[in-house]
């Protein structure tokens, strides 16, 4: 049978590869590095997988970390500005954070155990041309930094020409985790956003932080000042930012113990969100497709990049399976049709991300204000926040915002019972240091 080549062993490449393998298609993944190297490397991100991605993971039988001890059961949203407000909504379908240094190597092992071929081969343009002759189709899944220049930027879908935020992400110590497990989004007008969560890491479950600083703001110092130049001084700045802009997190900090968990557990940088064409012709007449961040790079502010990458991988897999089944060529017509389906799968995530990067209009503030006063509305917001289609339709206009609030208030929507939320220690995890904060 015709084989498919995938360049890049990240989330999009592995979800695509595992999905094709499950249909009996021979797949080779070309990985830049041995999965072991990734395990020992620097924190690459702090990724939340939401319920649609988790459903795909169950379908692929790679949901190795889920369970009551790891599932994120609620989301706190705090607007910390002149008009402060706070809410905590309960997630009907929990999200999960797993350190990608655990996640991606484990999925690469699953891929091999199920008959996939994994070759360690950093691929450049010349190598790609060669691979395109070996496989019926080669898909480029090299993330936002690899081989992207093959795929032209689409200006009308890419409103950003420079980074919208300066980023700092880290695993932390000295922050009490919340009970039940939750995440907090601090939205700080004029400054950016601070996200605090709990992530399954090789050290067990630990607190994590993502700073999204607006360039030019006070908080931007966390993006412009290098952490490794003076870690202690940087941690003092970080602590001060939590005190000023994220009080619901700061109240659980023990300043004497606070800091980055270990020297490889931080990441700093900035990148420009972009939508690229999802296919490219090669000089040998073959066509290659792009998936994941190589196709669409979103800012992490909405926690959607990997979720969209997975959705897009499944959309592309469906097109590949269809073409193989009907013995159709992987030509330009295939690429255009596949791109349309992939964009349909990821466009809501991109639109939601770009919306969140802008100051909220008054009707969105009204929805958040209603959520701060009524638990049912808070639950509705938290659940919609993870699902771009739902939140975009709620926030689309003053009328849709009012309809969303009314729908959440409807008695037909029962709030979740309190016993649905509970603290479940990981095996061997000490519960004592994590005071039960409600
Ligand atoms: C701080 C931060 C927080 C984030 N939080 C979230 C979140 O909460 N939720 C969410 O959904 N997304 C989040 N994201 C985005 C998410 O990390 C990406 O969208 C996702 O990892 C994209 O998957 P991918 O497979 O396209 O690329 P990657 O996961 O980056 O994988 C690309 C792979 O290709 C390999 N590669 C690169 N070049 C080559 C080459 N030349 N040859 C062979 N292999 C190559 C790389 O080694 C890597 O293994 C976050 C990102 C950051 C930076």
CA distance 31 to 17: 12
Residue 215 sits at φ, ψ, to 5 deg, of -55, 135
Q: Which of 125, 143, 149, 275 to mutate to test the pocket of ligand 1 (most atoms within 8 A of CB)?
A: 143
Name every residue whose Cβ is closer than 8 Å to that of residue 417 and which is 6 or more positions away in sequence: none
- Give the per-residue pLDDT at 437: 29
Cα 52 to ligand 1 centre (Å): 18
Give the dihedral sign, CA 29/35/37/39: positive
- Going through 109-222 in order, the beta strands assigned E by DSSP cover 117-120, 137-140, 166-173, 182-188, 192-201, 204-213
Contact 175, 252 (CB under 8 A): yes
Contact 280, 290 (CB under 8 A): yes
Angle at 84 between CA 79 and CA 86, to 5 degrees: 60
Name every residue whose Cβ is closer than 8 Å to that of residue 181 and which is 6 or more positions away in sequence: 70, 71, 72, 73, 74, 198, 423
Q: Which of 15, 31, 32 to mutate to test the pocket of ligand 1 (most atoms within 8 A of CB)?
A: 32
Nearest C-alpha neighbor of 93 from the set 431, 390, 411, 438 = 390
Q: Predicted confidence band at 434 (pLDDT cuts at 50, 70, 90)?
A: very low
Q: Is the pLDDT of residue 413 over 90?
A: no
Q: Predicted confidence band at 433 (pLDDT cuts at 50, 70, 90)?
A: very low
- The torsion angle over the Cα atoms of residues 299, 302, 307 and 311, rounded to 10 degrees, is -90
pLDDT in tens, 334-358: 999 999 999 999 999 999 999 999 9
Does the beta carbon of 303 lie inside 6 Å of ligand 1? Answer: yes
CA distance 295 to 342: 9
pLDDT in tens, 3-40: 999 999 999 999 999 999 999 999 999 999 998 889 99
Q: Is the pLDDT of residue 143 over 80?
A: yes
Q: Please give the domain boundaries of the chain with CATH numbers for all domains.
A: 4-43+101-160+273-356 (3.50.50.60), 64-98+165-271+360-438 (3.30.9.40)
How many CB atoms are located within 10 Å of the residue 119 CB? Answer: 12
CA distances (Å), origin 240, targets 218, 234, 237, 250 = 11, 10, 5, 9
Q: Predicted confidence band at 412 (pLDDT cuts at 50, 70, 90)?
A: low
Does the beta carbon of 197 lie inside 6 Å of ligand 1? Answer: no
Give the dihedral sign, CA 365/368/370/372: negative
DSSP state of 275: E
Contact 59, 369 (CB under 8 A): no
Query: What is the distance, to the nearest Å, from the Cα of residue 179 to the centroid of all Cα atoms in its chain?
Result: 23
- Return the structure tokens found at 315: 């959309």
pLDDT in tens, 69-89: 899 999 999 998 778 999 999
Q: What is the mean pLDDT of the chain?
A: 93
Cα 11 to ligand 1 centre (Å): 7
Angle at 12 between CA 223 and CA 56, to 5 degrees: 115
């Amino acid at each position: 049978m015709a084989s498919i080549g995938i360049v890049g062993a990240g989330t999009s490449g592995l979800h695509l590869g595992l999905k094709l393998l499950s249909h009996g298609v021979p797949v080779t993944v070309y990985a830049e590095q041995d999965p072991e190297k990734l395990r020992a490397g620097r924190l690459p991100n702090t990724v939340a997988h939401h319920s649609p991605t988790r459903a795909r993971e169950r379908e692929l039988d790679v949901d190795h970390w889920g369970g009551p001890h790891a599932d994120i059961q609620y989301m706190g949203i705090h607007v910390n500005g002149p008009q402060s407000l706070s809410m905590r909504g309960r997630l009907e379908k929990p999200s999960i954070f797993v350190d990608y240094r655990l996640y991606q190597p484990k999925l690469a092992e699953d891929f091999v155990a199920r008959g996939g071929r994994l070759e360690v081969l950093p691929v450049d343009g010349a190598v790609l041309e060669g691979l395109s002759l070996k496989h019926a189709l080669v898909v480029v899944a090299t993330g936002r930094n690899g081989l992207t220049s093959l795929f032209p930027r689409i200006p009308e879908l890419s409103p950003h020409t420079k980074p919208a935020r300066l980023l700092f992400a880290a695993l932390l110590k000295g922050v009490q985790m919340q009970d039940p497990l939750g995440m907090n989004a601090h939205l700080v007008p004029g400054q950016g956003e601070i996200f605090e969560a709990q992530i399954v890491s090789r050290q067990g479950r630990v607190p994590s932080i993502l700073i999204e600083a607006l360039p030019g703001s006070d908080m931007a110092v966390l993006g412009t000042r290098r952490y490794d130049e003076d870690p202690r001084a940087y941690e003092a700045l970080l602590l001060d930012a939590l005190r000023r802009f994220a009080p619901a997190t700061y109240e659980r900090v023990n300043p004497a113990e606070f800091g980055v968990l270990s020297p490889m557990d931080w990441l700093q940088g900035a990148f420009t969100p972009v939508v690229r064409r999802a296919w490219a012709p090669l000089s040998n007449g073959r066509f290659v497709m792009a998936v994941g961040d190589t196709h669409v790079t979103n800012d992490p502010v909405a926690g959607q990049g990997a979720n969209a990458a997975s959705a897009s991988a499944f959309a592309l897999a469906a097109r590949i399976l269809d073409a193989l089944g009907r013995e159709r060529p992987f030509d330009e017509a295939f690429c255009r049709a596949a791109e349309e389906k992939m964009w349909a799968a990821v466009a809501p995530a991109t639109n939601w991300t770009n919306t969140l990067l802008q100051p909220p209009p008054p009707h969105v503030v009204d929805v958040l204000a209603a959520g701060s006063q009524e638990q049912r509305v808070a639950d509705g917001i938290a659940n919609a926040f993870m699902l771009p289609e739902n939140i975009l339709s709620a926030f689309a206009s003053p009328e849709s915002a009012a309809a969303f609030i009314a729908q959440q208030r409807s008695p037909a929507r029962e709030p979740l019972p309190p016993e649905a939320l509970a603290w479940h220690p990981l095996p061997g995890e000490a519960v004592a240091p994590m005071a039960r904060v409600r």
